[in-house]
């Protein structure tokens, strides 16, 4: 049974608004003059399961190439899954008729990583933010459309007069606020934030994160937040899923996962976060991850993390670990932890949790890219 379908979890959070179950996305690698011969498959996503309840924020973290963005693109129906299911409000998104699919695209919106390339440079801010209303044929006259655009901009911290500007006349943070306003235009139920702050200056990142938090509280939004910076993820997310090479290594409540990690990969990521006190930082032990991430074209057998794991034993290269619930709401894919062969105390590292994100805390928990 997967994390997405456990009965006691459903009792705690209610019926999920989004449920991803055993999702696999494999891309064929072809060769030949006409690219007709398939020589293998890149296993970008290889059996991912999670669920998000209404009003919840789930963080999806991991190193570059682990499959986070592919998961997001599949949920947005930009990439077709190889197998598995993605259900929104109980309906499989790949079985929707045209009318239901249009409704789905209205209810699920995205904030993209790069505010420079996600906005059309030939369109004014008014046209960019107002475009969703035109696509979904909202019955608004020009005056009503202008009022809504200005209200959205003000909600996102921009003066209404900026509706007359073009993207090249704005800073990176302002452009991202326009992207957020566009995503909120149709009152979505789920917003996918695909590394929405990673392309911004550190001082601006804190402002955007606080804006996302305020909008979530005000509009009761649901976020799937994809990110590299662990300090950002801990601040914003209710739960966190840690991905490695197309699989989820660990998932659980944000505070519990950061304070008591149950997978060696999560523990290594947390140990890489520097402590602000230089004396404490110099004295504490470090376990450095060695080697590179294996190729998703030819992933290692058994546990995919075992070639880089300092705790790995012989069976780790042979047996694929099950994704098991080690405590209520806390899951891990490490057979050594579930079998009691690793003391979880060895993986633990406590870290402070800010109440309001500041630029001083940004970037401290950045996963290597």
pLDDT at 317: 92
45: number of Cβ within 10 Å = 29
Determine phi and psi for 265, rounding to 5 degrees: -65, -45
Share of the chain above pLDDT 90, in %: 64
Q: What is the pLDDT of residues 158-170, one digit of tens each?
A: 999 999 999 999 9
pLDDT at 230: 85
Of 296, 268, 279, whose CA–CA distance to 367 is shortest?
268
pTM of the shown model: 0.87
Q: Which domains does the chain have, with CATH numbers?
A: 7-361 (3.40.50.300)
pLDDT grade for 361, boundaries at 50, 70 and 90: low
Of 239, 204, 194, whose CA–CA distance to 3 is shortest?
239
pLDDT at 77: 95
Q: Give the residue, 120 or 360, on which the prediction is more confident.
A: 120
Q: What is the pLDDT of residues 68-116, one digit of tens each?
A: 999 999 999 999 999 999 999 999 999 999 999 999 999 999 999 888 8
Determine phi and psi for 253, rounding to 5 degrees: -55, 140
pLDDT grade for 1, boundaries at 50, 70 and 90: very low
């Amino acid at each position: 049974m997967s994390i997405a379908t456990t009965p006691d979890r459903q009792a705690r959070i209610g019926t999920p608004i989004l449920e991803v179950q055993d999702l696999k996305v494999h891309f064929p690698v072809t060769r030949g003059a006409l690219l007709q011969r398939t020589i293998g498959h890149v296993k970008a996503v290889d059996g991912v399961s999670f669920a998000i309840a209404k009003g919840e924020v789930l963080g999806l973290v991991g190193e570059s190439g682990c499959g986070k963005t592919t998961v997001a693109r599949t949920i947005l129906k930009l990439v077709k899954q190889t197998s598995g299911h993605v259900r929104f409000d109980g309906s499989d998104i790949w079985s929707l008729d045209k009318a239901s699919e249009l409704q789905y695209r209205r209810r699920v919106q995205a904030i993209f990583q790069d505010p420079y390339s996600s906005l059309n440079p030939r369109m004014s801010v008014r046209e960019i933010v107002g475009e969703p209303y035109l696509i979904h044929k909202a019955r608004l006259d020009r005056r009503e459309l202008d009022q809504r655009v200005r209200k959205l901009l003000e909600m996102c911290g921009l003066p209404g007069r900026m509706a007359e500007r073009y993207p090249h006349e704005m800073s990176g943070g302002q452009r991202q606020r326009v992207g957020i306003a566009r995503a909120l235009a149709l009152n979505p139920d789920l917003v996918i934030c695909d590394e929405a702050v990673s392309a911004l200056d550190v001082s601006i990142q804190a402002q955007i994160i606080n804006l996302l938090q305020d909008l979530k509280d005000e509009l009761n939004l649901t976020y799937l937040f994809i990110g590299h910076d662990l300090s950002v993820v801990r601040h914003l997310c209710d739960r966190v899923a840690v991905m490695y090479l197309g699989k989820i290594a660990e998932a659980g409540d944000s505070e519990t996962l950061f304070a008591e990690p149950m997978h060696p990969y999560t523990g290594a990521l947390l140990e890489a976060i520097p402590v602000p006190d230089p004396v404490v930082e110099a004295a504490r032990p470090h376990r450095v991850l060695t080697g590179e991430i294996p190729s998703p074209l030819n992933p290692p057998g058994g546990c995919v993390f075992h070639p880089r794991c300092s705790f790995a034993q012989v069976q780790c290269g042979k047996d694929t670990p099950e994704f098991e619930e080690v405590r209520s709401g806390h899951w891990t894919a490490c057979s050594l932890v579930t079998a009691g062969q690793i003391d979880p105390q060895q993986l633990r590292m406590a870290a402070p949790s800010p109440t309001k994100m500041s630029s001083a805390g940004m970037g401290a928990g950045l996963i290597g890219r």
